[in-house]
Chains A and B, each alone.
Chain A
Amino acid sequence: MSFANRIRALTYLITAVPLGTLGAVVILVGWTLTPLLAITPAVVPVLIGFRAAIGWVAGVEASLAHSLLGVRVSPRTRTRSRPGFWGQALDIVADGEFAKQQVFSLFRFAFGGLLAIAEVSLIGAAVAAIAMPVYYSSSHPDVNGWHVDTLWKALVYVPAGVVVLALALYLLRPLAASSQWLARRLLDSPDGAITRSSDQAGRTPSVMSTSLPEATRLARRQALAIHTVVYVAVNALLIVIWAATTRGYFWPAWPLIALFLPLSIHAWVQAVDEQPALIRRGQTRAFAIHEGVFASFALFYVFLWLASGGGYFWPLWPIIGLALILLGHRILIAVRQRQGELEERIGVLEDTRAEAVDQQEDELRRIERNLHDGAQARLVALGMSLGMAEQKLKADPEAALALIEDAQRGAREALEELRDLARGIHPPVLTDRGLAAALATLTDRNPLDVELDVDLLERPPAVVETAAYFVVAEALANATKHSGATRVEITVHRRDGSLEVEVIDDGHGGANPSGTGLKGLARRVRALDGTLEITSPAGGPTVLRAELPCES
């Protein structure tokens, strides 16, 4: 065992003092409160808190054991409990891991702390003895009745100190080994990793309530029925006793009220699980239960106030306090939801940004290839014609003229190609005159029978216009080239803050949405947070519908 490891083991022992104490205090408080509150519903949150605190301590212990002792243990820091208010409490009490973690904490408190103190004292004493020659002259310490006043006497302590230090360091080894054993025995849980999956399950509460097995559902209904019967029976009995005896002060009111609280909470929890509609949209099951618990407590206080003869309406204050907690819960849910929404949004933005970048890259490559194979090549040919014409100008003017005419034709063709390319990048008329004019031009160039219906009062943002234009252009090109259509209907109109574009052709269908053209289109649309739907059953018709959000 290396010196560094011994130092780590010593550090681990010392951590027993704060952590052991903390664990012991939690256990003391937990087991004091639990029996005290056992018949009230407040016992459930207390137990949950108790469990969480012990789980937290166990988690810290596990990470310490890992970093200082090198043992990998994964404690289960929360109890897997069945749904239901009381069920949680029972499951916590019955949780073996919970018990083991408490025992571990107690061990740490009782023995770990003591051992740490012993080790530290031993080392301290040894160091003090070794250093005796340095400081004896200033303090003249008395050790076991021996007055150290000369250097010789002081020097005698040095070997003793060395022996004690060696012993202390040697002892660290078995202490570390037993600590490791203890941690493995008590902290490690075979299903420690379950924490994470149960976390996830906790986020989808509505699914849980609807997926309860039928047997459980039945058992829970019976439990509620028994609870109700017991409540009625106990109170009936008490009222009978009251009626049979004093008939003075109506003391059964107190148990009536006190026992009403757990019953109402129980009934509410049952109701929430039976009727998922009680969990409002965007809320969790826990919050729905919290609302019921809040209402039950409010009623409980009001009843207490009534039973105690009214007077100053003190229930106002606890009700305000509970309402604040409820509000806090509500805010917490909203914050988490907002966070979830933001995360989702970030995911979408990351995806669409990557797609937009890819799309742009593809587009640039396409343009480059077009220029290279088209206009550039034509200009080279044109230059060659002019070069030859120059050569022949004097000797053979006729041939030179023909070459110049060739060159002119080449220039015209190059211009035409460039014009087509430019239109494919961004049609000028779209910028100048808007979507309706651009689409009119587009459909004019198309040989099919195209019906164009553009209904726009004002121009949408430029990016939306461009996307809409290319949606129509691509759909029209597909209809012309592949679908065998004779007629195309195009409608473009505004609806609820988005631009709707629809292209329907009467072709034979079977368009492939993962083809380059349509895929590029989908990327373009998604980059604007829009949607693109393509339905193209074999035999047709092909319907392409894009919705592009545009806030005006």
Chain B
Amino acid sequence: MRVVIAEDLALLRDGLVRLLRDNGFEVVAAVQDGDSLVETIAEERPEIAIVDIRLPPTFRDEGLRAALEARRRIPETAILIVSQYVEHTYANELLADGRGGIGYLLKDRIMDVDEFVEAVRRVANGGTALDPEVVSQLLSRRRANGPLEHLTPREREVLSLMAEGRSNAGIAKELVLTVGAVEKHVANILSKLRLPPSEDDHRRVLAVVTYLRGERD
């Protein structure tokens, strides 16, 4: 799997390159700023770009802007944004085009290598990976007495994992349940929230995230 990395800090860049190579990825380029990211993606056509949100020269959200620009030009590129902080505002911007292949994770998650590698694969294959922190931000404010209040704690756990972009199998593994049990929970949740059932994991994420955003006051 071909990967492009955009990260300005050498320490993290090299670590990330090594980690990905060790896990069977082909890192075709590692760049340091937004402009070269856009160019490199156009040239190399990687399956996924892993991008630090804060890049030179502005050290603001340069990486996010560059990634969105690259995706506008070469729509099949999957984007995984990694950052020292997450804001659901950015998640909204990333999800805005309604297509899969989007990830937004805290850099902390890289420490859990297996899970991180799994997330990279998921995103590269058109799935979604939203950081639990983003999901908890989305879930933190809910209308009193809204449908979310009627979910059981277990259902809420499942909902969070759905929003993160996990598949039913992934959720089952995480919560130590059978896939069948997870499917039942998912069906219950979707009916409680009056969302249409969907086979596609990414569509499901979009539906849930849109719902959660709408549920915020």
Contact = CB atoms under 8 A, between A and B. Distances in A.
Interface of A: 408, 411-412, 415-416, 419, 422-423, 428-429, 431-433, 437, 440-441, 443-445, 449, 451
B132 to A, nearest CB: 12
Contacts of A433: 61, 87, 89
9 contacts: A408-B111, A411-B108, A415-B108, A419-B84, A422-B85, A428-B84, A433-B61, A433-B87, A441-B89
A411 B111 contact: yes
B60 A419 contact: no
A306 to B, nearest CB: 79
A360 to B, nearest CB: 22
* Secondary structure of the A contact surface, majority rule: helix
Interface string B173-217: 000000000000000000000000000000000000000000011
Contact of B60 (A408, A422, A432, A440): A432
Interface in B57-115: 60-61, 84-85, 87-89, 106-108, 111-112
B85 A440 contact: no
Interface residues of B, number: 19
Nearest to A433: B89
Contacts of B88: 441, 444
B108 A441 contact: no
Interface string B125-157: 000000000000100110010000000000000
Contact of A440 (B54, B89, B112): B89
A491 to B, nearest CB: 15
Sorted from nearest, which 3 A-B pairs have the closest CB atoms?
Answer: A432-B61, A432-B60, A429-B87
Given A408-B112, A432-B61, 20 more contacts: A411-B111, A416-B108, A419-B84, A419-B85, A422-B84, A422-B85, A423-B85, A429-B85, A429-B89, A433-B61, A433-B89, A437-B87, A441-B87, A441-B88, A441-B89, A441-B137, A444-B88, A444-B140, A444-B216, A451-B217
Contacts of A416: 108
A403 to B, nearest CB: 15
* Secondary structure of the B contact surface, majority rule: loop
B15 to A, nearest CB: 13
Nearest to B112: A408
A412 B111 contact: yes
B186 to A, nearest CB: 26
Interface of B: 54, 60-61, 84-85, 87-89, 106-108, 111-112, 137, 140-141, 144, 216-217
Given A428-B54, A432-B60, A444-B140, A437 B112 contact: no
Contacts of A431: 60
Contacts of A440: 89
A428 B111 CA distance: 23
A441 B108 CA distance: 20
A445 B137 contact: yes
A114 to B, nearest CB: 86
A428 B85 contact: yes
Nearest to A413: B108
A422 B54 CA distance: 14
Contacts of B144: 449
A451 B111 CA distance: 37
B84, B87, B106, B217, most chain A CB atoms within 10 A: B87
Contact of A412 (B60, B84, B85, B108): B108
A378 to B, nearest CB: 13
Contacts of B216: 444
Contacts of A415: 84, 106-108
B64 to A, nearest CB: 8
A423 B133 CA distance: 15
B85 A444 contact: no
Contacts of B107: 415
A440 B140 CA distance: 12
Nearest to B59: A431
A530 B144 CA distance: 37
A416 B144 CA distance: 29
Nearest to B109: A412
A440 B89 CA distance: 9
A401 to B, nearest CB: 14
A430 to B, nearest CB: 10
B84 A437 contact: no
Nearest to A431: B60
B140 to A, nearest CB: 6
A136 to B, nearest CB: 94
A419 B106 CA distance: 11
Contact of A444 (B111, B112, B137): B137
Contacts of B84: 415, 419, 422, 428
Contacts of B112: 408
A431 B54 CA distance: 12
A443 B89 CA distance: 13
Nearest to B140: A444
Contacts of A412: 108, 111
